[in-house]
Amino acid sequence: MKPLNFYHLTDLHYYANEVIGSYGEKYELKDMLDQKCMDKSGAIIDAAFRDVCEDKETDIVLISGDLTFDGEVQSHDALIEKLYALKEKGKRVFITFATHDFYMHARKYTDEGETELPKYTRAQLREKYADFGYNEAIAEHKNSYSYCVQLSDDVRLLALNDDGDFDKFCGFYNDLLFWIKDQIEAAHEAGCEIFAMTHHPILEPSPVYPLFSHKAMLGGYEFTGPYLANAGLEYIFVGHTHIHDINSLTTDKGNTLYQVNTAALTAYPLAYRKIEFSDKGMDVKTVQVTEIDADTDGMSVLDYSKKHFTYMIELIFDSLENDFDKFCLLAQGFSVDGEKLRKVESLLHKFGKMVNGLTFKKLCGFFGCGKYVDSSIADDKIVKFLCSAIVNMYSGNEVYSPDTPEYKAIIPVCQKLGKVIKIKDHSGNRVDIAKLVAGIICDDGINDIEAFLPAKCK
Protein backbone atom coordinates (compact mmCIF):
# COMPACT_ATOMS: atom_id res chain seq x y z
CA MET A 1 0.00 0.00 0.00
CA LYS A 2 1.18 3.50 -0.83
CA PRO A 3 1.61 5.52 2.42
CA LEU A 4 -1.21 7.98 2.93
CA ASN A 5 -1.11 11.16 5.02
CA PHE A 6 -4.15 12.80 6.51
CA TYR A 7 -5.27 15.19 9.24
CA HIS A 8 -7.93 14.53 11.85
CA LEU A 9 -9.69 17.55 13.39
CA THR A 10 -12.80 17.43 15.50
CA ASP A 11 -15.24 19.45 17.59
CA LEU A 12 -14.56 22.79 15.92
CA HIS A 13 -17.62 24.25 17.67
CA TYR A 14 -17.43 27.30 15.47
CA TYR A 15 -19.47 30.30 16.62
CA ALA A 16 -19.48 32.73 13.69
CA ASN A 17 -19.88 35.83 15.80
CA GLU A 18 -18.58 38.06 13.03
CA VAL A 19 -21.91 37.28 11.32
CA ILE A 20 -24.16 36.60 14.33
CA GLY A 21 -23.16 39.70 16.30
CA SER A 22 -23.52 38.55 19.92
CA TYR A 23 -22.27 40.99 22.56
CA GLY A 24 -22.66 42.05 26.17
CA GLU A 25 -22.54 40.44 29.58
CA LYS A 26 -24.53 37.32 28.66
CA TYR A 27 -22.24 36.57 25.73
CA GLU A 28 -19.12 37.13 27.82
CA LEU A 29 -20.53 34.81 30.51
CA LYS A 30 -21.35 32.15 27.92
CA ASP A 31 -17.78 32.33 26.61
CA MET A 32 -16.27 32.35 30.10
CA LEU A 33 -18.24 29.36 31.39
CA ASP A 34 -17.22 27.11 28.53
CA GLN A 35 -14.14 24.95 28.13
CA LYS A 36 -13.97 26.01 24.49
CA CYS A 37 -12.73 29.43 23.43
CA MET A 38 -16.08 30.34 21.89
CA ASP A 39 -15.22 33.95 21.09
CA LYS A 40 -11.90 33.01 19.42
CA SER A 41 -13.21 29.92 17.61
CA GLY A 42 -13.13 31.53 14.15
CA ALA A 43 -9.55 32.75 14.57
CA ILE A 44 -8.39 29.35 15.90
CA ILE A 45 -10.03 27.47 12.98
CA ASP A 46 -8.51 29.93 10.48
CA ALA A 47 -5.05 29.37 11.99
CA ALA A 48 -5.40 25.57 11.87
CA PHE A 49 -6.63 25.68 8.25
CA ARG A 50 -3.77 28.04 7.33
CA ASP A 51 -1.22 25.57 8.76
CA VAL A 52 -2.93 22.62 7.05
CA CYS A 53 -2.73 24.47 3.72
CA GLU A 54 0.99 25.09 4.16
CA ASP A 55 1.59 21.33 4.42
CA LYS A 56 1.96 20.33 0.78
CA GLU A 57 2.42 16.61 1.51
CA THR A 58 -1.03 16.13 3.09
CA ASP A 59 -4.21 16.82 1.17
CA ILE A 60 -6.81 14.87 3.16
CA VAL A 61 -8.65 16.45 6.12
CA LEU A 62 -11.15 14.55 8.29
CA ILE A 63 -13.52 16.41 10.64
CA SER A 64 -15.65 14.23 12.91
CA GLY A 65 -18.62 16.36 13.98
CA ASP A 66 -19.66 19.17 16.31
CA LEU A 67 -18.68 21.51 13.51
CA THR A 68 -20.56 24.44 15.04
CA PHE A 69 -21.10 25.77 18.54
CA ASP A 70 -24.80 24.95 18.78
CA GLY A 71 -25.93 24.53 15.18
CA GLU A 72 -26.42 28.21 14.15
CA VAL A 73 -27.03 28.40 10.37
CA GLN A 74 -24.69 31.41 10.29
CA SER A 75 -21.86 29.28 11.72
CA HIS A 76 -22.52 26.46 9.24
CA ASP A 77 -22.60 28.85 6.29
CA ALA A 78 -19.38 30.60 7.37
CA LEU A 79 -17.63 27.26 8.01
CA ILE A 80 -18.69 25.93 4.60
CA GLU A 81 -17.03 28.99 3.04
CA LYS A 82 -13.81 28.16 4.90
CA LEU A 83 -14.04 24.54 3.72
CA TYR A 84 -14.45 25.66 0.10
CA ALA A 85 -11.32 27.80 0.55
CA LEU A 86 -9.48 24.64 1.70
CA LYS A 87 -10.82 22.78 -1.32
CA GLU A 88 -9.54 25.50 -3.64
CA LYS A 89 -6.08 24.94 -2.14
CA GLY A 90 -6.31 21.27 -3.17
CA LYS A 91 -7.52 19.75 0.12
CA ARG A 92 -10.13 17.00 0.19
CA VAL A 93 -12.29 17.46 3.27
CA PHE A 94 -14.53 14.74 4.70
CA ILE A 95 -16.99 15.55 7.48
CA THR A 96 -19.63 13.97 9.62
CA PHE A 97 -21.98 16.08 11.66
CA ALA A 98 -23.14 15.55 15.26
CA THR A 99 -25.73 16.79 17.75
CA HIS A 100 -24.17 20.26 18.17
CA ASP A 101 -24.81 20.78 14.47
CA PHE A 102 -28.60 20.46 14.55
CA TYR A 103 -29.99 19.54 17.98
CA MET A 104 -28.83 22.19 20.48
CA HIS A 105 -30.14 25.63 21.41
CA ALA A 106 -28.65 27.93 18.79
CA ARG A 107 -28.60 31.41 20.31
CA LYS A 108 -27.63 35.02 19.80
CA TYR A 109 -26.67 36.80 23.05
CA THR A 110 -27.12 40.52 23.64
CA ASP A 111 -27.71 42.87 26.59
CA GLU A 112 -31.43 42.49 25.93
CA GLY A 113 -31.25 38.70 26.39
CA GLU A 114 -31.04 35.60 24.23
CA THR A 115 -32.73 35.11 20.87
CA GLU A 116 -33.12 31.80 19.15
CA LEU A 117 -31.29 31.34 15.85
CA PRO A 118 -32.39 29.12 12.97
CA LYS A 119 -30.81 25.70 12.47
CA TYR A 120 -30.53 23.30 9.56
CA THR A 121 -32.15 19.87 9.62
CA ARG A 122 -29.94 16.81 9.11
CA ALA A 123 -31.24 16.47 5.54
CA GLN A 124 -30.27 20.09 4.87
CA LEU A 125 -26.81 19.51 6.38
CA ARG A 126 -26.36 16.53 4.05
CA GLU A 127 -26.95 18.88 1.09
CA LYS A 128 -24.97 21.84 2.46
CA TYR A 129 -21.88 19.66 3.09
CA ALA A 130 -22.37 17.49 -0.03
CA ASP A 131 -18.98 18.58 -1.43
CA PHE A 132 -17.22 17.48 1.75
CA GLY A 133 -17.75 13.74 1.57
CA TYR A 134 -21.16 12.78 0.24
CA ASN A 135 -20.48 13.66 -3.43
CA GLU A 136 -17.41 11.41 -3.42
CA ALA A 137 -19.15 8.49 -1.68
CA ILE A 138 -18.84 5.03 -3.21
CA ALA A 139 -21.59 3.89 -0.80
CA GLU A 140 -24.01 5.73 1.47
CA HIS A 141 -26.16 4.58 4.37
CA LYS A 142 -29.00 6.99 3.83
CA ASN A 143 -30.87 6.50 7.15
CA SER A 144 -27.89 7.63 9.19
CA TYR A 145 -26.08 9.96 6.74
CA SER A 146 -23.00 7.72 6.90
CA TYR A 147 -20.86 7.11 3.83
CA CYS A 148 -17.79 5.35 2.51
CA VAL A 149 -15.16 7.03 0.29
CA GLN A 150 -12.05 5.94 -1.56
CA LEU A 151 -9.18 8.02 -0.12
CA SER A 152 -6.51 6.54 -2.40
CA ASP A 153 -6.13 3.52 -4.70
CA ASP A 154 -5.91 1.20 -1.72
CA VAL A 155 -7.43 3.03 1.29
CA ARG A 156 -11.08 3.69 2.12
CA LEU A 157 -12.70 5.76 4.86
CA LEU A 158 -15.95 4.99 6.66
CA ALA A 159 -17.45 8.32 7.79
CA LEU A 160 -20.02 7.13 10.32
CA ASN A 161 -22.79 9.31 11.63
CA ASP A 162 -23.77 8.14 15.13
CA ASP A 163 -26.67 10.54 15.82
CA GLY A 164 -29.00 7.67 16.85
CA ASP A 165 -32.10 9.26 18.39
CA PHE A 166 -29.99 12.43 19.11
CA ASP A 167 -30.74 12.31 22.79
CA LYS A 168 -30.76 9.14 24.89
CA PHE A 169 -28.99 7.01 22.32
CA CYS A 170 -26.14 8.25 20.14
CA GLY A 171 -24.86 5.14 18.39
CA PHE A 172 -25.33 2.70 15.52
CA TYR A 173 -28.66 0.96 14.95
CA ASN A 174 -28.53 -2.63 13.66
CA ASP A 175 -29.02 -1.74 9.99
CA LEU A 176 -25.99 0.58 10.21
CA LEU A 177 -23.92 -2.08 11.99
CA PHE A 178 -24.70 -4.56 9.20
CA TRP A 179 -23.87 -1.93 6.57
CA ILE A 180 -20.51 -1.20 8.25
CA LYS A 181 -19.64 -4.91 8.23
CA ASP A 182 -20.54 -5.13 4.53
CA GLN A 183 -18.34 -2.10 3.76
CA ILE A 184 -15.36 -3.58 5.61
CA GLU A 185 -15.75 -6.87 3.72
CA ALA A 186 -16.17 -5.08 0.37
CA ALA A 187 -13.01 -3.02 0.99
CA HIS A 188 -10.95 -6.08 1.88
CA GLU A 189 -12.28 -7.98 -1.16
CA ALA A 190 -11.17 -5.04 -3.32
CA GLY A 191 -7.69 -5.22 -1.75
CA CYS A 192 -8.17 -1.97 0.19
CA GLU A 193 -7.44 -0.98 3.78
CA ILE A 194 -10.35 0.67 5.56
CA PHE A 195 -10.60 2.77 8.71
CA ALA A 196 -13.40 4.79 10.30
CA MET A 197 -14.29 8.06 11.94
CA THR A 198 -17.34 8.80 14.06
CA HIS A 199 -18.22 11.33 16.73
CA HIS A 200 -18.74 9.42 20.01
CA PRO A 201 -16.09 7.21 21.63
CA ILE A 202 -16.35 3.42 21.83
CA LEU A 203 -13.53 3.28 24.38
CA GLU A 204 -13.32 5.50 27.45
CA PRO A 205 -10.68 8.25 27.03
CA SER A 206 -10.17 8.17 30.80
CA PRO A 207 -11.40 5.58 33.32
CA VAL A 208 -13.51 8.27 34.99
CA TYR A 209 -15.36 9.24 31.80
CA PRO A 210 -18.11 6.56 31.69
CA LEU A 211 -18.76 7.16 35.40
CA PHE A 212 -19.72 10.82 35.07
CA SER A 213 -21.08 10.72 31.53
CA HIS A 214 -21.91 7.17 30.52
CA LYS A 215 -24.52 8.62 28.13
CA ALA A 216 -21.79 10.50 26.28
CA MET A 217 -20.12 7.29 25.15
CA LEU A 218 -21.29 5.78 21.85
CA GLY A 219 -24.54 4.00 22.72
CA GLY A 220 -23.93 0.26 23.12
CA TYR A 221 -20.16 0.78 23.01
CA GLU A 222 -19.56 -2.34 25.10
CA PHE A 223 -20.90 -4.38 22.19
CA THR A 224 -20.00 -2.13 19.25
CA GLY A 225 -16.23 -1.95 19.93
CA PRO A 226 -15.64 -5.73 19.82
CA TYR A 227 -18.15 -6.05 16.94
CA LEU A 228 -16.16 -3.59 14.81
CA ALA A 229 -12.82 -5.17 15.78
CA ASN A 230 -14.07 -8.64 14.90
CA ALA A 231 -15.43 -7.30 11.62
CA GLY A 232 -11.84 -6.36 10.76
CA LEU A 233 -11.74 -2.65 11.64
CA GLU A 234 -8.35 -1.69 13.10
CA TYR A 235 -8.59 2.12 13.52
CA ILE A 236 -11.32 4.56 14.45
CA PHE A 237 -11.00 8.35 14.92
CA VAL A 238 -13.44 10.03 17.31
CA GLY A 239 -14.15 13.32 19.10
CA HIS A 240 -16.96 14.46 21.40
CA THR A 241 -15.16 14.02 24.74
CA HIS A 242 -12.76 16.92 23.99
CA ILE A 243 -10.10 14.68 25.58
CA HIS A 244 -6.84 13.94 23.75
CA ASP A 245 -6.38 10.20 24.12
CA ILE A 246 -5.37 7.01 22.36
CA ASN A 247 -6.77 3.69 23.54
CA SER A 248 -7.23 0.15 22.22
CA LEU A 249 -9.18 -3.02 22.75
CA THR A 250 -8.34 -6.59 21.81
CA THR A 251 -11.13 -9.11 21.39
CA ASP A 252 -11.21 -12.80 22.36
CA LYS A 253 -10.40 -13.56 18.73
CA GLY A 254 -7.22 -11.50 19.04
CA ASN A 255 -8.36 -8.57 16.88
CA THR A 256 -7.13 -5.15 18.01
CA LEU A 257 -9.01 -1.90 17.41
CA TYR A 258 -7.23 1.41 18.10
CA GLN A 259 -9.26 4.48 18.95
CA VAL A 260 -7.73 7.91 18.41
CA ASN A 261 -9.76 10.46 20.36
CA THR A 262 -8.73 13.98 19.37
CA ALA A 263 -9.35 17.03 21.59
CA ALA A 264 -11.72 19.82 20.53
CA LEU A 265 -9.84 22.09 18.15
CA THR A 266 -11.06 25.29 19.83
CA ALA A 267 -10.32 24.28 23.43
CA TYR A 268 -6.99 23.82 25.21
CA PRO A 269 -4.66 22.25 24.02
CA LEU A 270 -5.88 23.54 20.57
CA ALA A 271 -4.78 20.22 19.10
CA TYR A 272 -5.39 18.12 16.03
CA ARG A 273 -3.68 15.07 14.55
CA LYS A 274 -1.45 14.38 11.58
CA ILE A 275 -1.28 10.73 10.59
CA GLU A 276 0.88 8.72 8.23
CA PHE A 277 -0.78 5.44 7.32
CA SER A 278 1.37 2.69 5.80
CA ASP A 279 1.45 -1.12 5.64
CA LYS A 280 3.17 -1.11 9.03
CA GLY A 281 0.43 0.90 10.79
CA MET A 282 -0.52 4.44 11.72
CA ASP A 283 2.04 6.97 12.87
CA VAL A 284 -0.03 9.49 14.86
CA LYS A 285 1.35 12.92 15.73
CA THR A 286 -0.21 15.92 17.46
CA VAL A 287 -0.18 19.40 15.95
CA GLN A 288 -1.18 22.49 17.93
CA VAL A 289 -2.40 25.92 16.93
CA THR A 290 0.26 28.34 18.14
CA GLU A 291 -0.62 31.69 16.59
CA ILE A 292 -3.98 33.25 15.84
CA ASP A 293 -5.05 36.55 14.38
CA ALA A 294 -6.94 37.84 17.45
CA ASP A 295 -6.31 39.54 20.77
CA THR A 296 -5.30 37.02 23.45
CA ASP A 297 -4.68 39.44 26.33
CA GLY A 298 -0.92 39.62 25.68
CA MET A 299 -0.50 35.86 26.09
CA SER A 300 0.30 33.16 23.55
CA VAL A 301 -2.92 31.57 22.32
CA LEU A 302 -1.99 28.32 24.08
CA ASP A 303 -1.56 30.09 27.42
CA TYR A 304 -4.78 31.97 26.76
CA SER A 305 -6.74 28.75 26.11
CA LYS A 306 -5.18 27.03 29.13
CA LYS A 307 -6.07 29.96 31.37
CA HIS A 308 -9.59 29.99 29.93
CA PHE A 309 -10.04 26.27 30.70
CA THR A 310 -8.33 26.36 34.12
CA TYR A 311 -10.45 29.32 35.19
CA MET A 312 -13.57 27.38 34.30
CA ILE A 313 -12.50 24.31 36.31
CA GLU A 314 -11.56 26.48 39.31
CA LEU A 315 -14.97 28.08 39.03
CA ILE A 316 -16.58 24.63 39.31
CA PHE A 317 -15.09 24.13 42.77
CA ASP A 318 -15.77 27.71 43.78
CA SER A 319 -19.40 27.63 42.60
CA LEU A 320 -19.96 24.27 44.32
CA GLU A 321 -19.52 26.15 47.57
CA ASN A 322 -20.77 29.61 46.64
CA ASP A 323 -23.10 29.59 43.61
CA PHE A 324 -24.99 26.34 42.93
CA ASP A 325 -26.86 27.70 39.85
CA LYS A 326 -23.54 28.45 38.19
CA PHE A 327 -22.26 25.01 39.21
CA CYS A 328 -25.20 23.29 37.44
CA LEU A 329 -24.61 25.42 34.35
CA LEU A 330 -20.96 24.40 34.28
CA ALA A 331 -21.71 20.71 34.94
CA GLN A 332 -23.90 20.58 31.82
CA GLY A 333 -20.81 21.38 29.75
CA PHE A 334 -19.41 18.02 30.92
CA SER A 335 -22.58 16.11 29.96
CA VAL A 336 -23.71 15.98 33.61
CA ASP A 337 -27.44 16.50 34.19
CA GLY A 338 -27.88 19.71 36.24
CA GLU A 339 -31.35 18.68 37.48
CA LYS A 340 -30.01 15.44 38.97
CA LEU A 341 -27.39 17.48 40.83
CA ARG A 342 -30.10 19.64 42.42
CA LYS A 343 -31.40 16.58 44.26
CA VAL A 344 -28.13 16.37 46.19
CA GLU A 345 -27.48 20.11 46.40
CA SER A 346 -26.88 20.36 50.15
CA LEU A 347 -24.52 17.39 50.13
CA LEU A 348 -22.56 18.82 47.21
CA HIS A 349 -22.47 22.24 48.86
CA LYS A 350 -20.93 20.75 52.02
CA PHE A 351 -18.51 18.76 49.89
CA GLY A 352 -17.47 21.94 48.01
CA LYS A 353 -16.87 23.82 51.24
CA MET A 354 -14.78 21.03 52.67
CA VAL A 355 -12.75 20.43 49.47
CA ASN A 356 -11.92 24.10 48.97
CA GLY A 357 -10.25 24.27 52.37
CA LEU A 358 -8.15 21.15 51.99
CA THR A 359 -4.38 20.93 51.63
CA PHE A 360 -2.37 17.73 51.08
CA LYS A 361 -1.29 17.84 54.74
CA LYS A 362 -4.88 18.16 56.00
CA LEU A 363 -6.35 15.54 53.68
CA CYS A 364 -3.66 12.93 54.18
CA GLY A 365 -3.50 13.63 57.93
CA PHE A 366 -7.25 13.04 58.21
CA PHE A 367 -6.87 9.59 56.63
CA GLY A 368 -3.82 8.71 58.74
CA CYS A 369 -1.56 8.96 55.69
CA GLY A 370 0.50 11.99 56.82
CA LYS A 371 3.75 10.08 56.43
CA TYR A 372 3.24 9.93 52.67
CA VAL A 373 3.16 13.73 52.25
CA ASP A 374 6.37 15.32 51.02
CA SER A 375 7.07 18.73 52.58
CA SER A 376 7.29 20.30 49.09
CA ILE A 377 3.52 19.85 48.59
CA ALA A 378 2.23 19.75 52.20
CA ASP A 379 0.56 23.17 52.03
CA ASP A 380 -0.59 22.92 48.41
CA LYS A 381 -4.33 23.13 47.94
CA ILE A 382 -6.01 19.90 46.83
CA VAL A 383 -8.29 21.93 44.53
CA LYS A 384 -5.28 23.28 42.66
CA PHE A 385 -4.01 19.73 42.19
CA LEU A 386 -7.42 18.54 40.98
CA CYS A 387 -7.69 21.41 38.49
CA SER A 388 -4.25 20.63 37.13
CA ALA A 389 -5.06 16.88 36.89
CA ILE A 390 -8.27 17.62 34.93
CA VAL A 391 -6.55 20.01 32.50
CA ASN A 392 -3.76 17.43 32.04
CA MET A 393 -6.28 14.69 31.32
CA TYR A 394 -7.92 16.76 28.57
CA SER A 395 -4.57 17.54 26.99
CA GLY A 396 -3.40 13.90 27.03
CA ASN A 397 -0.50 14.78 29.28
CA GLU A 398 -1.22 13.11 32.63
CA VAL A 399 2.02 13.92 34.44
CA TYR A 400 1.45 12.65 38.00
CA SER A 401 3.37 9.38 37.63
CA PRO A 402 4.05 7.05 40.60
CA ASP A 403 7.37 8.80 41.36
CA THR A 404 5.77 12.25 41.91
CA PRO A 405 4.97 13.49 45.46
CA GLU A 406 1.33 14.11 44.47
CA TYR A 407 0.82 10.47 43.41
CA LYS A 408 2.61 9.14 46.50
CA ALA A 409 0.35 11.23 48.76
CA ILE A 410 -3.02 10.84 47.04
CA ILE A 411 -3.08 7.11 46.22
CA PRO A 412 -2.80 5.84 49.85
CA VAL A 413 -5.71 8.17 50.71
CA CYS A 414 -7.77 6.68 47.87
CA GLN A 415 -6.93 3.16 49.03
CA LYS A 416 -8.28 3.99 52.49
CA LEU A 417 -11.28 5.79 51.01
CA GLY A 418 -12.06 2.72 48.91
CA LYS A 419 -12.52 0.71 52.09
CA VAL A 420 -15.12 3.15 53.38
CA ILE A 421 -16.95 4.38 50.27
CA LYS A 422 -18.35 1.97 47.72
CA ILE A 423 -18.87 3.36 44.21
CA LYS A 424 -20.49 1.30 41.49
CA ASP A 425 -20.28 1.80 37.73
CA HIS A 426 -23.30 1.79 35.40
CA SER A 427 -23.23 -2.04 35.23
CA GLY A 428 -23.25 -2.31 39.02
CA ASN A 429 -19.61 -3.35 39.33
CA ARG A 430 -17.61 -2.03 42.28
CA VAL A 431 -15.11 0.68 41.32
CA ASP A 432 -11.58 0.48 42.73
CA ILE A 433 -11.14 4.15 43.75
CA ALA A 434 -7.31 4.06 43.97
CA LYS A 435 -7.05 2.44 40.53
CA LEU A 436 -9.54 4.94 39.12
CA VAL A 437 -7.67 7.98 40.47
CA ALA A 438 -4.31 6.55 39.37
CA GLY A 439 -5.77 6.18 35.86
CA ILE A 440 -6.92 9.80 35.86
CA ILE A 441 -3.74 11.45 37.10
CA CYS A 442 -1.30 9.17 35.29
CA ASP A 443 -1.95 7.46 31.96
CA ASP A 444 0.29 4.42 31.67
CA GLY A 445 -1.33 3.19 28.45
CA ILE A 446 -0.51 4.29 24.91
CA ASN A 447 1.11 7.74 24.65
CA ASP A 448 -1.83 10.04 23.88
CA ILE A 449 0.19 12.67 22.04
CA GLU A 450 2.46 10.70 19.71
CA ALA A 451 2.18 7.00 19.04
CA PHE A 452 2.80 4.36 16.43
CA LEU A 453 -0.17 2.02 16.17
CA PRO A 454 0.95 -1.18 14.42
CA ALA A 455 -1.26 -2.84 11.82
CA LYS A 456 -2.17 -6.49 12.13
CA CYS A 457 0.34 -8.73 10.32
CA LYS A 458 -1.32 -9.89 7.16
| Residues in touch with Fe ion (CB under 5 A) | 11, 66, 98, 240
* Least Å from the CB of residue 262 to Fe ion: 11
* Least Å from the CB of residue 199 to Fe ion: 6
* Least Å from the CB of residue 314 to Fe ion: 22
Q: Which helix (H) or strand (E) holds 454?
A: strand 451-454
Among candidate residues 34, 35, 439, the one with its CA nearest the CA of residue 203: 439
* Least Å from the CB of residue 10 to Fe ion: 8
* Least Å from the CB of residue 231 to Fe ion: 24
Distance of CA 200 to the CA centre of its chain: 8
Report the distance separating Cα 63 and Cα 317, nearest Å: 33
Q: Is 321 helix (H, G, I), strand (E, B) or coil?
A: helix
Tell me phi and psi for residue 288, to 5 degrees: -125, 150
* Least Å from the CB of residue 242 to Fe ion: 6
* Least Å from the CB of residue 41 to Fe ion: 12
Q: Is the peptide bond before 269 cis (omega within 30 degrees of 0)?
A: yes
The nearer residue to Fe ion, 240 or 244, going by C-beta atoms, is 240
Among candidate residues 134, 57, 39, 44, the one with its CA nearest the CA of residue 96: 134
Report the distance separating Cα 280 and Cα 168, nearest Å: 39
Give 262-305 as a DSSP string.
Answer: PPPTTBTT-EEEEEEEETTEEEEEEEE----SS--TTS-HHHHH
Cβ atoms of 452 and 282 within 8 Å: the answer is yes
Overall size of the chain counted in residues? 458
The nearer residue to Fe ion, 69 or 304, going by C-beta atoms, is 69
Give 346-370 as a DSSP string.
Answer: HHHHHHHHHHHT-BHHHHHHHTT-G
* Least Å from the CB of residue 7 to Fe ion: 18
* Least Å from the CB of residue 224 to Fe ion: 17
Q: How many CA atoms lie within 13 A of 296 on its CB side?
A: 21
Please enumerate in sequence order all residues whose Cβ is within 8 A of that of 56, keeping only pairs 6 or more positions apart, or say none.
none
Cβ atoms of 115 and 129 within 8 Å: the answer is no
The nearer residue to Fe ion, 66 or 234, going by C-beta atoms, is 66
Cβ atoms of 14 and 68 within 8 Å: the answer is yes
